[in-house]
Amino acid sequence: MSGDSVANLSNGNANTQQPNPRKTYQVVVAATKDMGIGKDGKLPWKLPSDLKFFKDLTLTTTDSGKKNAVIMGRKTWESIPLEHRPLPGRLNVVLTRSGSFDIATVENVVICGSMGSALELLAASPYCLSIEKVFVIGGGQILRESLNAPGCDAIHITEIETDFDCDTFIPAIDTSVFQPWYSSFPKVEKDIRHCFTTYVRVRSSTIESLSQNNGMNPDGNSENSKFEVKEFSFLPKMVFERHEEHLYLRMVQDIISDGNLKDDRTGTGTLSKFGCQKVFWRGVVEELLWFISGSTSAKVLQEKGIHIWDGNASRDYLDRHVLAFIFFIGLKDREEGDLGPVYGFQWRHFGARYTDMHADYTGQGFDQLLDVIDKVKNNPNDRRIIISSWNPSDLKLMALPPCHMFAQFYVANGELSCQMYQRSADMGLGVPFNIASYALLTCILAHVCDVHVQSSEMVSVDMRQKESSDDGPADLIPGDFVHVIGDAHVYQTHIRPLQEQLRKLPKPFPILKINSEKKDIDTFVADDFKLIGYDPHQKIEMKMAAQLLEAYHDVEFDTKDQIKICGLESGRAISFCSAFAFCESCVHFDRAMKRHSYLKSYNFRPFVLSTFVFWLVASVNSQFVLTIIPLTKPDNSPMSLCHHILPSTPNHLFQEGNVSLYFKERDEASKIKLEDEAQLSTLLQHGSKPP
C-alpha cells in the first residue's frame, strides 16, 4: 500500500479503463481529544512548537534535489498570511472548483479541482521526478475526505490535550487500519498541553474482528494482527528515527561497537557499558501476574507452559547455586522449582522469613504492591511510591538476585509513569522482556487506580489514550516508562543474532486492551489482557548464556587439602590438591575465589604463597577444560591464580609465567600441552603436586 504511488480502486467493470496511478500521501493535522481542528476558520490555539514541527516535517527531504508537496483547500490557502504564501521550499497544491481562482502563474503553486486529480498530477511527469513526499494539510472537508482513505500512508497529529471550543471536526483515526509509530513526551506551551504522534497504515481496510477481540491466537494476539504493510521507509526520516525501538537498537549497536570486553558469572564473556526482537507476550503477562501473586514456585509457570525460569529452578542449578559474593553455596535442601524469596515474594512480603514455596505467607512482611496502589490513589504526589526487589538479607536464599531491582511511580497530569532501575541488563534476551513487563505493570496500576469504571468490555491503552465511556473520561492513564540501566551488556554469543536484528526495521507498536470489569490487582488472569496488532519480525534465536560450572553439579569440602567436584557428564572427579593444608578448612581458598571463579585472576595473600608451590590438577570432560596453573614463579615469588572454565573455544592461548596452555576444539580438548608434558602426565596420574 505504501510507496510512491497507488492505483485507484476499480468499480468492478471489466471494460473500465485502467485508472491513472496516484501518489500516496501523509496527513498533517493538529486536533483536540474529540478531533476538533478549528473555530471560525482559524486555529483556536497558537503553538510555536507545532508550527516548527509542521515546517520541519513538510520541508525536509532526504534527496536535496527534490522537494515535498503540500495539498490544501482554497480556504486554508487564504488563511496563510500573505508574507508566507506560498509555503516556501514546497510545491503548494491548492484544491478549488472556483473558475475565478487563478494563481497558476505563482511559482511553486498548482491548482487542481479535486483530491484525485491532484494525486494523479503528482504521480505523473514531471512531478513524479521532483516531488519526494506529499502532505495533506487541510482544511476540514479535505481532511474528512482523506484522513482514513486508502491513499493515506501516515497521519502526523499534534494531540491537543487542553480543551478548546471548536466548530470544525474530523473523523477519529481508524486504529484497525492505523497504528501508532511514535509519540513524543507531552509538553506544555502557553498553558497548552500537547504531544506529537504519528500513526502509520498497517493494512488496507478496516478489520471488524480487531474491534471485537475475536480470533485470538495462543500467544494472546489477534489472528488478524499481521500487517499488510511490511516496511515503513516512506516516513520522513525525522519521524522514522523517533520510533522508541531505535533507542534500544542504538544502544545495542553502541555496546557491540564500543563496549568493554568483560568476564561474567556465566563464563560466556560480555561486551558491556555502564549507565546506559520478538517478545514472548504471553510469557510477559504470566510472569508479571506470577510476580503480583507473590509466588516463588517456577512450577506455577511451568504448568502454564512458561519455561523462562526453568534454568534457575532446576535441581542441577540449585545444587550448584553461585553468588557473586560466595564461591559456592548449594541449595540442596531446596525443592526443585523453589526459587526462594525472589521478585514476587519481595513485592508482597518484604521482610518476612522465607521457608519454602509451599508456606502460607499471608499477613507476613510488608506488601509493597498494595502500598503503591494506596499511594497512587490517595497520595499521588508522594515521592516515595516505590517497590523494591533488592533485599540484601535474602540474596543468599534466592536462586537469582534481582536484576530489575527498583521501581518508582510518578503521577502528574492524569498520567502514571514508572522509572525502573536495572543493575544488570542482558540487551539481547532480557531488556525487551523487561520493558514489556514494566510497561504492562504501569498499565495495570493505572487501570486499578482509575476510579471510573468503563462501560466497554475492554479498556484500550493506545499510547496515551483510553477509550472514554458514558461515565466520563478516565482519571488515570499510563504515562511514560523510563528505564535506567547500570551494566548494559551483550553476550558474545549474542552478537551475530543482534546484528541480524539491527538490520530489521522497527514496526508500529501494538495496542493493549485490559478487561474493564477487573479492578482488583489480585484477580487478573492472562485472558484479561489482549494485545491487538502485534506483528513482529521472525524469531531470532539467542540462547541464554551458560551458567558457570555448567558441567558440574556437586561440590564437597571433604578435607582440609582437597575440594572435590563431580563431573555431571563424564563422572570423573576433579581434585584440587595442594602441597599444604588449607587454613580453616579451605576458608581462605573460598574467599580468595569469591569474585574470581571464571576467566579472572586473583593474588593470594603473600603468606599463603611465600614458601609453597600450589598445584591444582586439571581434568577434561566433553564440554569444558578446567585448568589451574602454578601460583609461584621460578623464584618462588607470588603469582596470580588463573582459573579457566572455557567452552570449546578454538585456538585459545593462555600464557602465565613459564606455563603455556592451548585450548582446542571440543573433540581435541584432550590435546592440552604444557611445556613439560611429563609433568602433566604425573599430575593426572597421581593427583598431587609433581615430584
User: When comparing pLDDT for 545 and 75, which is higher?
Assistant: 75
* Separation between Cα atoms, residue 6 and residue 174, nearest integer Å: 20
pLDDT, mean of residues 640-651: 32
The pLDDT-based confidence of 303 (bands split at 50, 70, 90) is confident
Q: Please, are residues 45 and 192 in contact by the beta-carbon 8 Å criterion?
A: yes
What local confidence, expressed as pLDDT, does residue 264 receive? Answer: 64
Burial of 573 (0-12, 13-18, 19+ CB in 10 A): middle
The pLDDT-based confidence of 331 (bands split at 50, 70, 90) is low
The pLDDT-based confidence of 461 (bands split at 50, 70, 90) is low
Which amino acid, one-letter code, is at 280? F
Give the residue range(s) of CATH 3.30.572.10 domains in the chain. Answer: 245-532
Residues 6 or more apart in contact with residue 175 via CB below 8 angstroms: 199, 210, 460, 462, 511
pLDDT higher than threshold 90 for residue 450: no
Superfamily of domain 5-206 in CATH is Dihydrofolate Reductase, subunit A (3.40.430.10)
- Residue 201 has φ and ψ, to the nearest 5°, of -70, 130
What is the residue whose three cell numbers read 504564501?
A: 85
What local confidence, expressed as pLDDT, does residue 579 receive? Answer: 23
CA within 13 Å, CB half, 502: 18
Q: Which residues are catalytic?
A: 403
The radius of gyration of the chain from alpha carbons, rounded to an integer in Å, stands at 32
The per-residue pLDDT for range 179-231, each reduced to its tens digit, is 888 888 788 889 898 999 999 998 876 654 344 444 444 444 444 555 566 67
Average pLDDT, the chain: 70
Q: Please, are residues 194 and 47 in contact by the beta-carbon 8 Å criterion?
A: yes
Range of weakest confidence among 141-145, 152-156, 263-267, 645-649: 645-649
User: When comparing pLDDT for 134 and 491, which is higher?
Assistant: 134
Assessment of whether the complete model's pTM goes beyond 0.75: no
Q: If phi over 0 gives left and psi between -120 and 50 gives alpha, with beta otherwise, what is residue 413?
A: left
Q: Please, are residues 366 and 349 in contact by the beta-carbon 8 Å criterion?
A: yes
The per-residue pLDDT for range 407-422, each reduced to its tens digit, is 999 998 888 999 999 9
* Separation between Cα atoms, residue 495 and residue 257, nearest integer Å: 10
* Separation between Cα atoms, residue 149 and residue 205, nearest integer Å: 9
* Separation between Cα atoms, residue 341 and residue 349, nearest integer Å: 9
What does the angle CA 598 – CA 603 – CA 604 come to, to the nearest 5 degrees? Answer: 105
Superfamily of domain 245-532 in CATH is Thymidylate synthase/dCMP hydroxymethylase domain (3.30.572.10)
> Smallest Cα–Cα separation from 531: which of 516, 512, 549?
512
The per-residue pLDDT for range 270-279, each reduced to its tens digit, is 777 554 544 5
Cell of 461: 491503552
The pLDDT-based confidence of 118 (bands split at 50, 70, 90) is very high
Structural element, H or E, at residue 91: strand 90-95
Give the residue range(s) of CATH 3.40.430.10 domains in the chain. Answer: 5-206
What local confidence, expressed as pLDDT, does residue 90 receive? Answer: 96
What local confidence, expressed as pLDDT, does residue 94 receive? Answer: 94
Which amino acid, one-letter code, is at 31? A
- Strand 529-532 and strand 511-515: the pairing is antiparallel
* Separation between Cα atoms, residue 439 and residue 511, nearest integer Å: 12
Range of weakest confidence among 290-294, 530-534, 627-631: 627-631
* Separation between Cα atoms, residue 336 and residue 313, nearest integer Å: 6
> Smallest Cα–Cα separation from 290: which of 242, 337, 330?
337
* Separation between Cα atoms, residue 569 and residue 259, nearest integer Å: 35
State whether residue 277 is helix, strand or coil. Answer: coil
Q: How far from 324 is each of 232, 395, 519, 558, 590, CA to CA, in Å?
A: 45, 10, 40, 23, 12
Q: Please, are residues 386 and 408 in contact by the beta-carbon 8 Å criterion?
A: yes
Q: How far from 127 is each of 5, 28, 60, 89, CA to CA, in Å?
A: 12, 21, 17, 15
The per-residue pLDDT for range 487-500, each reduced to its tens digit, is 888 888 888 888 88
What is the residue whose three cell numbers read 507476550?
A: 281
User: Which of 130-139, 197-206, 302-311, 501-510 shows the highest mean pLDDT?
Assistant: 130-139
Q: Please, are residues 104 and 111 in contact by the beta-carbon 8 Å criterion?
A: yes
* Separation between Cα atoms, residue 407 and residue 130, nearest integer Å: 51
State whether residue 108 is helix, strand or coil. Answer: coil
Q: How far from 592 is each of 136, 177, 187, 596, 644, CA to CA, in Å?
A: 70, 62, 54, 8, 15
Burial of 83 (0-12, 13-18, 19+ CB in 10 A): exposed
Helices marked H in 93-139 — which ranges?
115-123, 127-130
Respond yes or no on whether the N-terminal peptide bond of residue 186 is cis (omega within 30° of 0): no
What local confidence, expressed as pLDDT, does residue 341 receive? Answer: 93
Q: Please, are residues 156 and 201 in contact by the beta-carbon 8 Å criterion?
A: no
What local confidence, expressed as pLDDT, does residue 308 receive? Answer: 60
Which amino acid, one-letter code, is at 528? D
* Separation between Cα atoms, residue 447 and residue 477, nearest integer Å: 7
Percentage of the residues of the chain whose pLDDT score is greater than 70: 59
What does the angle CA 48 – CA 53 – CA 54 come to, to the nearest 5 degrees? Answer: 95
> Read out DSSP for 452-512?
SPPSSSEEEEBTTB---BTTBS-S-EEEEEEEEEEEEEEEGGGHHHHHHHHTSPP----EE
Respond yes or no on whether the N-terminal peptide bond of residue 139 is cis (omega within 30° of 0): yes
Bridge partners of 420, per DSSP, are 407, 483
Respond yes or no on whether the N-terminal peptide bond of residue 691 is cis (omega within 30° of 0): no
What local confidence, expressed as pLDDT, does residue 661 receive? Answer: 32
The per-residue pLDDT for range 570-587, each reduced to its tens digit, is 222 222 222 222 222 222
User: When comparing pLDDT for 442 and 294, which is higher?
Assistant: 442
- Strand 67-73 and strand 131-138: the pairing is parallel
The per-residue pLDDT for range 353-380, each reduced to its tens digit, is 999 989 999 999 999 999 999 999 999 9
> Smallest Cα–Cα separation from 109: which of 70, 82, 76, 140?
70
